[in-house]
A and B are shown apart, each in its own frame.
Chain A
Amino acid sequence: MHKFLIRSFVSSLVLLFTLTVAAVAKDVKAAFVYIGPTGDHGWTYQHDVGRKAVEAAGFKTTYVEGVPESADAERVLRQLANSGHDVIFTTSFGYMNPTNKVAKEFPNVKFEHATGYKREHPNVSTYAARFYEGRTILGTIAGTMTKSNVIGYVASFPIPEVIRGINSFTLAAQKVNPNIKTKIVWAFTWYDPGKEAEAAKALIDQGADVIAQHTDSTAIVQMAEKAGVYAFGQASDMDKFAPKAVLTSVENNWGPYYVDRVKAVANGTWNQKDTWHGIGDGMVVISDLDSQMPADLRSKVKKLQADLASGKVHSFTGPIYDQKGNLMVAEGKTADDGMLAGMMTYVKGVEGDIPK
């Protein structure tokens, strides 16, 4: 009898312990810090889609939107770390220093910073997407589809991420059509639909018949639709906003990475990493190709997509020259990640100067 009692007591203890461990493991809480509103249908919106994937995987999440890249960010991070969050994703470049500073104060909380390069403490990881691979595909399509040989490009701010995109796009377009010109207009905003539409209109009025964008709203593809020219969606699939104009979109797909990392925290296998994923890892996704593209272009793009994914093709393969004709990448070589991360010069064929 005693034996039975002890045994059942011990087994129930074991059961309780397992349950507790399971509960603790499942109880990982993830927090997300956003630069913009989740309603921007662009950068922040896509991060929030990723957050919802984490939620769907059975974890608790919270988010704070519209956090300025200032001392406010530190305050928000501290508060999140203090209120029992196990992993915090900071989703804008400007959170780099606040993230590292707060990470030092909370060694048991994991920090994941998007698009940065500082990992000063063992509990800080960084991650980014190789969007330029997507722009290689867009450039190939633009160079083939243009009839006027003038391609418009609405840019946001002169930072390496944007310059890299312009270069990757132009190199790919030149490869299929050496006569093209890329005209660039800087809107100096990430999203202001009115301004973006005006910038696109100016490019269209000046003869551009394909418009690419590195700003976030759908105003540009809508303007292209009105004017009867082609365009590409940014961050999410924008086809329904401009069914005739949008040839394809480059989508930011953070969900799989977020679920992976939160699971790693739950399993205790989280370690410091620097992740830079592209088409191959599914962080950069190419939407459906529009049927207006000729069949041979579509199959060419599919092949290019597969080659970029497998690493057979690199967006920056030499010889690459800058605007002045200096060699940037030698023949047969590819640009390394260090060069890509700090890219602040245009390649040959891009018109104009980078605003300083």
Chain B
Amino acid sequence: MIIDINFVGLIIASIMASAVPLILASCGELITERSGVLNLGVEGMMIIGAISGFALMTVTGSLIVAVFGAMLAGVLISTIFAFLTQTLITNHVATGLALTIFGIGISAMIGKNFVGIPGKEFPILFESLKDTIPLISPILFGHSIVFYFAFALPFMTNYFLKKTKLGLIVRAVGDSPESASNQGINVRLVRYACILYGGAMSGLAGAYLSMIYTPQWIENMTGGRGWIALALVVFSTWNPIKILIGAMIFGGLTIIQFHMQAIGVRIPVQFLTALPYIVTIIVLVVISRDSRKIRLSTPSSLGKSFHKDN
């Protein structure tokens, strides 16, 4: 088979498009976890974002309303989680799991009337430049605004955590809520904000799926991507740049295995299908194997409830 350079560009572009929801949800969850909160409800928040975005797009006809509405829906459902875990001090793991189950159920209920309706076309940027430079153009041009935002997000997240005062506060709250509290930081407020931010990003990830990637609504359409996003956060050792790498490997292997099948590579299909999961974990474990760094980057109070009075 002759591999022409535009073909490679097309493949890379599809890999990037498939990585977008993972990057968005992971970067959101990363901020939540960096503040010491483990929210296992990513899948639930994503699916709520997916149905909210799709429903608002269908009802109002406005894509802007739909995108922001999906983020707001993510915020609203994560408020439930924030209230339970921060104000009522419930267990993070159990509450997060409940959030996922709740999200899947309620999205199915809202979605009943939206099955079988085609989505609207989402505008793409720089379409005229798409065929100008081989290899580079299909990668850089002709994508939605959410796509560009997703690829900027890991760098912005990295900058936020390392270079800004607010980022330092988030890390302080995650590493030692007691000391942060003694410094006069309102731990509960910071955690509330981080949870709601995570909800907004998960909501956006869901909206990307139902409005841009595959513009339609069907039940369970997130298909476990929320869980993969959660795994990426852990295996990247809470490093946004490694999340980007992990999401690209995962998306890349999913797409490349389809290409290998279509070319007719004689490797058992079941193995090819499992490959993205196996390789992503192996690569992330290898690039993050420095145990000292893991200790440093793991939020020490992750998943532990903080009560100001004790």
Chain A interfacial positions (CB closer than 8 Å to B): 36-42, 45, 152, 183-189, 191-199, 201-203, 205-206, 208, 217-219, 222-223, 236, 240-242, 351-353, 355-356
Contact = CB atoms under 8 A, between A and B. Distances in A.
A222 B214 contact: yes
A185 B225 CA distance: 21
A198 B255 contact: yes
Nearest to A154: B258
A183 to B, nearest CB: 5
Given A193-B209, A205-B11, A205-B259, A39 B218 contact: yes
Given A37-B108, A41-B115, A355-B268, A218 B216 contact: yes
B179 interface: no
Contacts of A236: 116
B268 A356 contact: yes
A355 B270 contact: yes
Given A39-B111, A194-B18, A202 B219 contact: no
A188 B269 contact: yes
A198 B18 contact: yes
Contacts of B215: 222
Interface in B96-132: 108, 111-112, 115-116, 118
Nearest to B121: A226
Nearest to B270: A355
Contact of B262 (A37, A191, A203): A203
B213 interface: yes
Nearest to A205: B10
Contacts of A223: 214
A184 B223 contact: no
Nearest to A186: B269
B264 interface: yes
B266 interface: yes
Given A36-B219, A193-B214, A202-B258, 7 more contacts: A39-B108, A39-B112, A185-B261, A186-B261, A197-B213, A198-B255, A355-B270
Contacts of B300: none
B14 interface: yes
Nearest to A218: B216
Contacts of B296: none
Nearest to A200: B258
A190 to B, nearest CB: 11
Contacts of B116: 41, 45, 236
Contacts of A206: 259, 262-263
A194 B108 CA distance: 18
A352 B7 CA distance: 22
A39 B51 CA distance: 12
Nearest to B255: A198
Interface residues of B, number: 37
B18 to A, nearest CB: 6
B169 interface: no
Contact of A193 (B111, B216, B262, B269): B216
A241 B255 CA distance: 23
Nearest to B104: A37
A100 B116 CA distance: 34
B219 A184 contact: no
Interface string B204-242: 000001000111111111010100000000000000000
B214 A194 contact: yes
A353 B209 CA distance: 32
Contacts of A193: 209, 213-214, 216, 218, 221, 223
B37 to A, nearest CB: 28
Among all A-B residue pairs, the 4 with the closest Cβ atoms: A202-B258, A193-B214, A355-B269, A37-B219
B259 A218 contact: no
B254 interface: yes
Contacts of B220: 37
Interface in B239-281: 254-255, 258-259, 261-264, 266, 268-270, 273
Nearest to A227: B10
A236 B264 CA distance: 30
21 contacts: A36-B219, A37-B219, A38-B112, A39-B108, A39-B219, A45-B115, A186-B261, A186-B273, A192-B221, A192-B223, A193-B216, A193-B218, A194-B18, A194-B223, A202-B14, A202-B262, A203-B258, A206-B262, A219-B216, A242-B118, A351-B264
A183 B261 CA distance: 8
Contacts of A191: 218
A191 B213 CA distance: 15
A37 B105 CA distance: 11
Given A39-B112, A201-B14, A203-B262, A219 B214 contact: yes
Nearest to A241: B118
Contacts of A184: 261-262
A241 B117 CA distance: 8
B63 to A, nearest CB: 16
A194 B216 contact: no
A201 B268 CA distance: 21
Contacts of B263: 206
A56 to B, nearest CB: 18
A237 to B, nearest CB: 10
A192 B214 CA distance: 10
Contacts of B14: 198, 201-202, 205
Nearest to A152: B262
**Best-surrounded residue of A184, A194, A236, A356 (most CB of chain B within 10 A):** A194
**Best-surrounded residue of A37, A198, A206, A242 (most CB of chain B within 10 A):** A198
B274 to A, nearest CB: 9
A236 B225 CA distance: 27
A350 to B, nearest CB: 11
A352 B209 contact: no
Contacts of B214: 193-194, 196-197, 217-219, 222-223
A195 B7 contact: no
B10 A188 contact: no
